């Protein structure tokens, strides 16, 4: 790059000041000329000299004031000049900084790369954390939204977070006093027909007030209004934007048209806007494709107190606090048993509580997100220190320049200013690059996050994120510019000049400062690596868990038998027929079906083992399964027998329990032949005889403790209550194949369509992938933290390598002398390695202390390892020392190749 | 020479425009400015002459005049002030606003129109 022509320095007047006589003297000279001229004039007009002088003085007036006034003008002007001086100084610094960078492109590239990485990943993670934890939820005035959940202290101290649908009618009486509006919703799956292909969609049944509560208006048509959810009202649906675009080609004239849902012609009332996603992740529901009215039919009302599956969301009335709302719903809940004695045992207490919507949504993700934010902050810190280290090394090379400038009278402020300017010149492209990286990372994150953890949140670069980046960049510039500036301060001027003059090792204190920086970098990297190590060990432990069944070669999918094609009576037969056809497929080793599968969660039910007195009615995970379930899934039957053909509606009521259930309630006694009951001991449900004990399988996830498990035979339950009937219409089918289960997919579809071409096969998935999904968020956290740790290690290694390389240059002469008097190349390598490793050891000691203090914040993210797991600490320290050794070895090898003669002569 | 009773108090800022007017005739020193003002006003404005110097210095800092040292007619060292282009612009502006002001004040003082309340 050609040197720009040197411009005339705008600060020339600084040098003029050297020769300018002082303004006070000049004024005196001016005034005395005036006085003398006046005296001459008066004398010429005939006055005697003494009188002439007196009159002239009188006429000139108060000289002291004149001098003061002139001084004030002089001062004012000087102030203004020093300001413009500073400004032109800054411009000169900027030009200087740009020239410096143009000359040292490798340095500039390294520094900017560090900044892009450090600031970029921070901005990306911040944009996610901000969207999920800090920014208002994408609803109107979201801080006023609460979820109401009921609880049954007789079963569990925990609030369910959900309510029994019929109870909504009682809570809704608070509408207008405690709540501005209230609504209830529940998940529903419906079959959409009428296109080329029938489609099974998941959506929500909602009370008419939901959109009013959320403050969400449709983009087309209208949302539900009062009366739309009255029993007997016409079938209506509000579509999500996603479904409208995908299935209906964004047809703007769709409002008022009719679509067919579960065989029923249904009028499209409206379409929600693009940004509207509901429910948000965190409730365990997927975003709804459609919304249909939730009707309080007699069937639904029969489920009071029986199932607690509905979600109640309400907007607090102005001035009402969450606590007040909790008290109000609690009072209503307490009255429920006496109001509805047919549904709630009078001995049962019912509780209810309101919880802010946000707290409800983020309870599971808050901790991991905060840990992630902390981890990227570490990466940023390391990146900063690296840049500071680079600047420091460069400052060392420029010691002489700076010392000369100081000697010539440049103020400390000016020199600090120059450092800041050089920092800013690095930071601006760094920040711009970081924004590009962050944009890319944030969109990748929201795509890769498991279970749609981030679906519906507006993640991306907005004003808040830009302000964050700006703030971080400013901070970074301040830190890495001021560190070298301040470390330069301590240098005695004359020392530096003398040092340089003699050509001995320059700026030892600067080298020491750099050593401290690199040591702290290593410490930070070690903390991060230890965190990643703990997560990795946790993950390994999770993967070691025996799931209790054999997920390999299993294919699962769901098929619904909708009521418009299958009467209640036909459902069980059709389901059994499908199982039989699947089992007859060539190569298939087994086929079965169940209402719930492991990893996807059973029904939570209360069970009462007969003859055991317990303080609370125990909760159990309930799986309703078809025959051949245990054999097909590979779940060993430990005692007794599996379900078989006997276990239908005509036979005796039976149940199978898992080993944990047996152990928890029967200890070492044989549970076969004992009886248990669905619900509280006084419920009217029939006693069920335990016929078998099977191995425990994970209900939700490999790494989560399951409730005691209890299995009921599907064929016996098929004619039970209306609620069960609805659940029984959609089953998970499982087929065990010989090899890759996905290879069975098309044949499975053929078999289903051979039975009924209108049946829809959904959620085709290998059971292995279900297992792996169950630890998806753990894997996600691990991958991110591990990536950050690797980044941190790399950055720290670069920092250490730079430090050692620089000290080799500084000690070139010493090394030359050593080689000349007989040191071996290996000896020199050892010498330099020791130098690097000493720093690494210091850093590691510091890092271990930090890790001891900090890993406890991740305790909830760990599995099977303690926050102070010794193996992890030792292993990560060893990795770090190995990396440090390698980073030091590279420059050490170069040191050994130094030619002693050149090194000694080079002065 | 006027007596004390006949001297006129100078309005704030007026001195600057008088100085600029004086210098518009050509460069001179502070004493020259004082003499010229004395002559053209028949000494009616008995300026405290020392106050010319803050005015000159202020004008210099604002770039309306330039100063340089030179020799006076009788070979004394004196500081000469020269009006700049910007100084002439300033003078034109000030002069016209002064005339407008003076005319307005004169109108009021010579008015014979009786106000509504009298």
Quick: pLDDT tens for A621-668: 999 999 899 999 999 999 999 998 888 777 788 999 999 999 999 998
Closest Cβ opposite residue A73 in set B51, B54, B77? B54
Partners of A33 on chain B (C-beta within 8 Å) are 29-31, 72, 76-79
Spatial separation of the C-alpha atoms in residues A236 and A292, rounded to whole Å:
6
Confidence band for B22, pLDDT divided at 50, 70 and 90: very high
Residue of A nearest to B48 (CA): A61
What is residue A138's predicted lDDT score, i.e. its pLDDT? 86
CB A31 within 8 Å of CB B50: yes
DSSP H or E stretch at residue B82: strand B77-83
Compute, in degrees rounded to 10, the torsion defined by CA atoms A692, A696, A701, A706: 90
d(CA A425, CA A691): 77
Count other Cβ atoms within 10 Å, centred on residue A459: 22
> Which of B57, B74, B77 lies nearest to residue A73, judging by beta carbons?
B57
User: 3-state class of A148 per DSSP?
Assistant: strand
Decide if A33 and B72 are in contact by the 8 Å CB cutoff.
yes
**Terminal-to-terminal C-alpha distance of chain A:** 29
What does the alpha-carbon distance between residue A284 and residue A161 come to, in Å, rounded to a whole number? Answer: 12
Which of B49, B50, B77 lies closest to A33 in CB terms? B77
DSSP assignments along A454-501, one per residue? TTTS--S--HHHHHHHHHHHHHHHHHHHHHHHHHHHTS-HHHHHHHHH
Distance to chain A for B104, nearest Cα, Å: 32
In the block, residue with structure tokens 């320095």: A9
| Chain B residues near residue A45 by CB distance under 8 angstroms | none
A416: tokens are 């600090």
Mean of the pLDDT values across residues A128-139? 88
In this prediction, residue A732 carries a pLDDT of 95
Q: Between these two residues, A424 and A393, which has the higher pLDDT value?
A: A424
Q: Is B1 on the interface with A (CB under 8 A)?
A: no
Interface A:B, Cβ pairs < 8 A: 61
The residue in chain B having the minimum alpha-carbon distance to the alpha carbon of residue A64 is: B50
- Residue A81's pLDDT band, with cuts at 50, 70 and 90, is confident
How many angstroms away from the CA of A46 is the closest CA of chain B?
A: 15
Q: Which of the given ranges, A148-152, A515-519, B6-10, B54-58, has the highest pLDDT on average?
A: A148-152
Question: Partners of A622 in the beta sheet?
Answer: A603, A710
Interchain CB contact of A650 with B (< 8 Å)? no
- Give yes or no for residue A1 having a pLDDT over 60: no
In sequence order, the β-bridge partners of residue A730 are A560
Range in A126-140, A225-239, A471-485, A853-867 with the lowest mean pLDDT: A471-485
pLDDT confidence of residue A396:
66
Angle between helices A366-397 and A105-129 (to 10 degrees): 160
Nearest Cα of chain B lies from the Cα of A95 at a distance, in angstroms, of 29
* B-chain residues near A25 (CB < 8 A): none
Cβ within 8 Å, pair A61-B49 = yes
Q: How many CB atoms lie within 10 A of CB A597?
A: 25
For the structural domain made of B4-103, what CATH number should be given?
Answer: 1.10.10.10
Task: Give the residues across from A677 on adjacent strands.
Answer: A608
Contacts of A30 in chain B (CB under 8 A): 29-30, 53, 78-79
- Does A279 sit behind a cis peptide bond, omega within 30 degrees of 0 on the bond before it? yes
Terminal CA-CA length for chain B: 41
Cβ neighbours of B7 in A, within 8 Å = none
Q: Which of A13, A34, A42 to mutate to test the interface with B (most CBs of B within 10 A)?
A: A34
Q: How far is Cα A621 from Cα A132, in angstroms, rounded to an integer?
A: 30
Contact at CB, A29 and B79, closer than 8 angstroms: yes
> Are the C-beta atoms of residues A906 and A819 closer than 8 Å to each other?
no
Q: pLDDT digit string (tens) for A291-344? A: 999 999 888 888 888 888 899 999 999 999 999 999 999 999 999 999 998 888
Confirm or reject contact between A65 and chain B (CB < 8 A): yes
B22 and B37 in contact (C-beta within 8 Å)? yes
Task: Report the pLDDT averaged over residues A759-770.
Answer: 92
pLDDT at residue A14 greater than cutoff 50? no
Residue B2: the pLDDT is 39
**Mean pLDDT computed over A81-103:** 78
Q: Do B50 and A60 touch (CB under 8 A)?
A: yes
Contact between A809 and A394 under an 8 Å Cβ cutoff? The reply is: no
Going from the C-alpha of A557 to that of each of A26, A207, A582, A633, the distances in angstroms are: 100, 30, 12, 14
d(CA B70, nearest CA chain A) in Å = 11
pLDDT band, very low/low/confident/very high, at A474 (cuts 50, 70, 90): confident
Strands (E), A86-212: 145-151, 179-193, 199-206
Torsion angle defined by CA atoms of residues A871, A877, A878 and A883, in that order, rounded to the nearest 10 degrees: 150
Contact residues for B48 (Cβ-Cβ < 8 A; gap 6+): A59, A60, A61, A62
The mean pLDDT value for A477-481 works out to 76
Which residue of chain B comes nearest to A34, CA vs CA?
B31
CB distance B54–A40 less than 8 Å? no
Helix (H, G, I), strand (E, B) or coil at A509: helix
Task: Please state, in angstroms and rounded to a whole number, the distance separating the CA atoms of residues A654 and A650.
Answer: 11
- DSSP class of residue A275 equals T
What is the Cα gyration radius of chain A?
Answer: 40
Per-residue pLDDT tens over the stretch A818-842: 888 888 888 889 988 998 899 999 9
Going A529 to A530 to A535 to A537, the CA torsion angle's sign is positive
Task: Please state, in angstroms and rounded to a whole number, the distance separating the CA atoms of residues A487 and A499.
Answer: 16
Any A CB within 8 A of B12 CB: no
Mean pLDDT of A717-737: 76
Count other Cβ atoms within 10 Å, centred on residue A353. Answer: 21
Chain B residues within 8 A of A20 when measuring between CB atoms: none
Residues of chain A with pLDDT > 70, as a percent, come to 92
Other Cβ atoms closer than 10 A to A270? 22
In chain B, which residues have their Cβ closer than 8 Å to the Cβ of A38? Answer: 31, 49
Residue in chain A nearest B62 by alpha carbon: A77
Beta bridge partners of A105: none
A480 or B72, which is more confident? B72
B45 to chain A, any CB pair closer than 8 A? The answer is no
| A457 pLDDT tier (thresholds 50, 70, 90) | confident
pLDDT at A399 over 80: no
User: A-contacting residues of B 15-44, CB under 8 Å?
Assistant: 29-31, 34
List, in sequence order, every residue forming a beta bridge with A621; answer none if it has no partner: A604, A709
Contact A317, A236 (CB under 8 A): no
Give whole-number Cα distances, A830 to A16, A416, A772, A834, A904, in Å. Answer: 58, 38, 47, 6, 21
Q: β-strands A236-239, A264-271: how paired?
A: parallel
| C-alpha–C-alpha distance, residues A522 and A305, integer Å | 58
Pairing of strands A351-356, A145-151: antiparallel
User: Are the beta carbons of A186 and A308 closer than 8 angstroms?
Assistant: no
Is the confidence at residue A594, as pLDDT, over 50? yes
pLDDT of A275: 84
Residue A201: the pLDDT is 92
Whether A502 shows a pLDDT value over 60: the answer reads: no
Q: Is B58 at the interface with chain A, CB within 8 A? A: yes
Q: Burial, A235: exposed, middle or buried (Cβ in 10 Å; 0-12, 13-18, 19+)?
A: middle
| Nearest of A670, A610, A668 to residue A640 by alpha carbon | A670
Interface contact flag, A73 B79, Cβ < 8 Å: no
Put simply, the answer to whether B49 touches A29 (Cβ < 8 Å) is: no
pLDDT value at residue A490: 46
pLDDT digit string, tens, across residues A413-423:
777 777 778 78
CA distance B57 to chain A (A): 7
Who has greater pLDDT, A7 or A679?
A679
Transcribe A297-343 into DSSP letters. Answer: -HHHHTTTTT---BEEEEEEPTT--HHHHHHHHHHHHHHHHHH-TTT
A15 pLDDT band, cuts 50/70/90, is very low
> What's the mean per-residue pLDDT of chain A?
86
Q: What is the rounded CA–CA span in Å between residue A80 and residue A652?
A: 101
Q: What is the pLDDT of residue A21?
A: 52
Q: What is the dihedral of CA A796, A798, A800, A802, to 10 degrees?
A: -150
**pLDDT tens digits, A543-573:** 999 999 999 999 999 999 988 888 888 888 8
- Whether A257 has a pLDDT exceeding 90, the answer reads yes
Task: Please count the residues of chain A.
Answer: 907
| Alpha-carbon A172 to chain mean position | 36
Residue A503 has pLDDT above 80, yes or no: no
Contact A74/B74, CB-based, under 8 Å?
A: no
**Chain A CB contacts of B48 below 8 Å:** 59-62
Q: Which whole number is the average pLDDT over A376-387?
A: 88
Res. A18 pLDDT band, cuts 50 70 90: very low
| pLDDT at residue A654, rounded to an integer | 93
Q: Do A30 and B30 touch (CB under 8 A)?
A: yes
Q: What is the distance between the alpha carbons of residues A742 and A764, in angstroms, rounded to a whole number?
A: 8
Give me the half-sphere count of Cα atoms (radius 13 Å) on the Cβ side of residue A580: 7
Check pLDDT > 90 for residue A208. Answer: yes
Residue A64 with chain B: CB contacts under 8 Å: none
Q: How confident is the model at residue A58 (pLDDT cuts 50, 70, 90)?
A: confident
A73 CB neighbours in chain B (<8 A) are: 54, 57-58, 61
Q: Is A108 a residue whose pLDDT tops 60?
A: yes
Say whether residue B7 is in contact with chain A using an 8 A CB cutoff. no
Residues of A in contact with B29 (CB under 8 A): 30, 33-34
Contact A29 B77 (CB under 8 A): yes
Nearest by CB to A34, from B31, B48, B74: name it: B31
The domain ranges of chain B are 4-103
Between A475-484, A854-863, A892-901, the lowest mean confidence (pLDDT) is in: A475-484
Helix residue ranges, H only, A638-766: 659-666, 714-717, 722-728, 745-755
Q: What is the mean pLDDT of residues A578-607?
A: 92
Residue B3: pLDDT over 50: no
pLDDT of residue B75: 85
pLDDT of residue A554: 96
How far is CA A535 from each of CA A539, A788, A862, A868, B54, rounded to the nearest angstrom? 6, 13, 6, 12, 77
Characterize the bridge pairing of strands A311-316 and A179-193: antiparallel
A26 and B79 within 8 Å at the Cβ level: the answer is yes
Task: Give the mean pLDDT of A441-448.
Answer: 87
User: Strand A761-766 vs strand A590-594: parallel, antiparallel, or unpaired?
Assistant: unpaired
d(Cα A379, Cα A883) in Å, to the nearest integer?
17
Q: Is A47 exposed, middle or buried (0-12, 13-18, 19+ CB in 10 A)?
A: middle
């Amino acid at each position: 790059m050609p040197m720009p022509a040197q411009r005339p320095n705008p600060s020339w007047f600084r040098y003029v000041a050297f020769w300018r006589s002082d303004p006070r003297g000049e004024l005196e000279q001016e005034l005395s000329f005036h006085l003398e001229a006046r005296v001459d004039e008066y004398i010429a007009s005939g006055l005697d000299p003494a009188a002439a002088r007196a009159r002239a003085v009188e006429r000139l007036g108060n000289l002291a004031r004149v001098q003061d006034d002139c001084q004030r003008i002089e001062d004012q002007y000087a102030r203004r000049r020093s300001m413009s001086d500073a400004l032109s100084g800054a411009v000169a610094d900027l030009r200087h900084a740009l020239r410096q960078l143009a000359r040292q492109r490798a340095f500039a590239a390294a520094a900017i790369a560090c900044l892009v990485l450090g600031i970029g990943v921070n901005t990306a993670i911040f944009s996610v954390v901000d969207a999920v934890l800090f920014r208002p939820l994408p609803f109107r005035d979201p801080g006023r939204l609460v979820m109401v959940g009921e609880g049954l202290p007789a079963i569990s101290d925990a609030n369910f977070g959900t309510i029994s649908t019929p109870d909504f009618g009682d809570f809704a009486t608070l509408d207008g006093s405690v709540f501005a509006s209230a609504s209830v919703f529940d998940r529903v799956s419906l079959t959409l027909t009428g296109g080329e292909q029938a489609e099974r969609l998941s959506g929500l049944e909602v009370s008419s007030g939901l959109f009013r509560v959320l403050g969400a208006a449709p983009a087309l048509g209208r949302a539900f209004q009062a009366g739309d959810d009255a029993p007997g009202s016409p079938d209506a649906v509000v579509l999500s934007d996603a479904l409208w675009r995908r299935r209906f080609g964004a047809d703007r004239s769709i409002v008022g048209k009719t679509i067919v849902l579960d065989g029923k012609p249904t009028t499209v009332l409206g379409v929600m806007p693009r940004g509207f996603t509901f429910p948000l992740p965190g409730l365990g529901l997927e975003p709804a494709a459609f919304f249909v009215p939730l009707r309080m039919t007699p069937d639904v009302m029969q489920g009071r107190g029986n199932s607690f599956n509905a979600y109640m969301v309400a907007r607090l009335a102005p001035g009402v606090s969450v606590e007040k709302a909790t008290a109000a719903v609690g009072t209503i809940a307490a009255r429920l048993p006496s109001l509805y004695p047919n549904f709630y045992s009078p001995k049962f207490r019912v509780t209810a509580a309101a919880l802010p919507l946000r707290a409800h949504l983020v309870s599971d993700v808050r901790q991991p997100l905060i840990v992630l934010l902390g981890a990227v902050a570490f990466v940023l810190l390391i990146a900063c220190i690296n840049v500071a280290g680079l600047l420091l090394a460069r400052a060392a090379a420029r010691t002489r320049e700076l010392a000369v400038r100081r000697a010539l009278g440049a103020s400390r402020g000016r020199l600090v200013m120059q450092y800041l300017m050089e920092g800013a010149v690095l930071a601006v492209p760094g920040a711009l690059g970081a924004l590009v990286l962050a944009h890319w990372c944030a969109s990748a994150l929201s795509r890769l996050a498991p279970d749609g953890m981030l679906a519906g949140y507006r993640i991306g670069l907005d004003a808040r994120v830009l302000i964050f980046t700006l703030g971080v960049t400013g901070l970074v510039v301040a830190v890495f510019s001021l560190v070298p500036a301040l470390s330069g301060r301590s240098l005695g001027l004359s020392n530096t000049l003398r040092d340089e003059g003699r050509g001995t090792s320059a700026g030892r204190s600067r080298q020491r400062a750099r050593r401290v920086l690199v040591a702290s970098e290593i410490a930070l990297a070690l903390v991060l690596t230890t965190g990643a190590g703990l997560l990795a060990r946790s993950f390994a432990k999770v993967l070691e868990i025996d799931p209790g069944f054999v997920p390999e070669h299993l294919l699962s999918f769901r098929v619904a038998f909708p009521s418009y094609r299958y009467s209640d009576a036909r459902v069980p037969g059709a389901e059994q027929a499908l199982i039989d056809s699947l089992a007859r497929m060539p190569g298939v080793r087994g086929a079965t079906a169940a209402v719930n599968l492991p990893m996807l969660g059973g029904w939570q039910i209360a069970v009462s083992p007969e003859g055991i007195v317990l303080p609370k009615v125990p909760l159990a995970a309930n799986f309703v399964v078809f025959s051949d379930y245990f054999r097909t899934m590979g779940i060993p039957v430990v005692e007794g027998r599996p379900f078989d053909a006997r276990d239908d509606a005509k036979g005796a009521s039976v149940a199978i329990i898992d080993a944990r259930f047996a152990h928890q309630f029967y200890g070492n006694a044989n549970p076969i032949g004992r009886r248990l009951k669905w619900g509280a001991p006084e419920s009217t449900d029939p006693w069920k005889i335990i016929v078998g004990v099977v191995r425990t399988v994970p209900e939700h996830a490999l790494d989560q403790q399951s409730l005691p498990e209890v299995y009921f035979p599907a064929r016996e339950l098929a004619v039970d209550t209306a609620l069960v009937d609805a659940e029984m219409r959609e089953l998970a089918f499982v087929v065990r194949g010989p090899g890759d289960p996905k290879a069975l997919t098309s044949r499975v579809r053929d078999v289903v369509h051979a039975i009924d071409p209108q049946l829809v096969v959904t959620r085709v998935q290998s059971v292995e992938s279900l297992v792996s999904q169950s630890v998806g968020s753990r894997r996600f956290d691990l991958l991110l933290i591990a990536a950050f740790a690797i980044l941190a290690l790399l950055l720290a290694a670069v920092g250490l390598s730079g430090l050692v390389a620089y000290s080799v240059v500084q000690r070139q002469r010493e090394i030359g002398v050593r080689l000349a008097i007989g040191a071996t190349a290996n000896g020199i390598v050892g010498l330099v390695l020791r130098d690097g490793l000493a720093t690494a050891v210091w850093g590691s000691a510091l890092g271990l202390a930090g890790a001891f203090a900090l890993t406890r914040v991740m305790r909830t993210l760990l599995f099977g390892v303690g926050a102070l797991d010794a193996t992890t600490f030792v292993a990560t320290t060893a990795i770090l020392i190995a990396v440090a050794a390698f980073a030091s070895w590279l420059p050490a090898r170069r040191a050994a190749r130094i030619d002693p003669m050149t090194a000694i002569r080079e002065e | 020479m006027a007596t004390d009773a006949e001297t006129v108090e100078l309005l704030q800022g007026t001195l600057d425009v008088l100085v600029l007017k004086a210098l518009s005739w050509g460069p001179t020193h502070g004493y020259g400015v004082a003499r010229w003002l004395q002559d053209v006003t028949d000494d009616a404005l008995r300026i405290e002459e020392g106050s010319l110097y803050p005015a000159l210095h202020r004008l210099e800092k604002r770039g309306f005049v330039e100063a340089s040292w030179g020799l006076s007619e009788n070979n004394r060292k004196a500081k000469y002030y020269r009006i700049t282009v910007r100084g002439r612009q300033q003078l034109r502006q000030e002069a016209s606003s002064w005339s407008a002001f003076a005319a307005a004040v004169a109108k009021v003082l010579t008015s014979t129109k009786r106000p509504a309340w009298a």
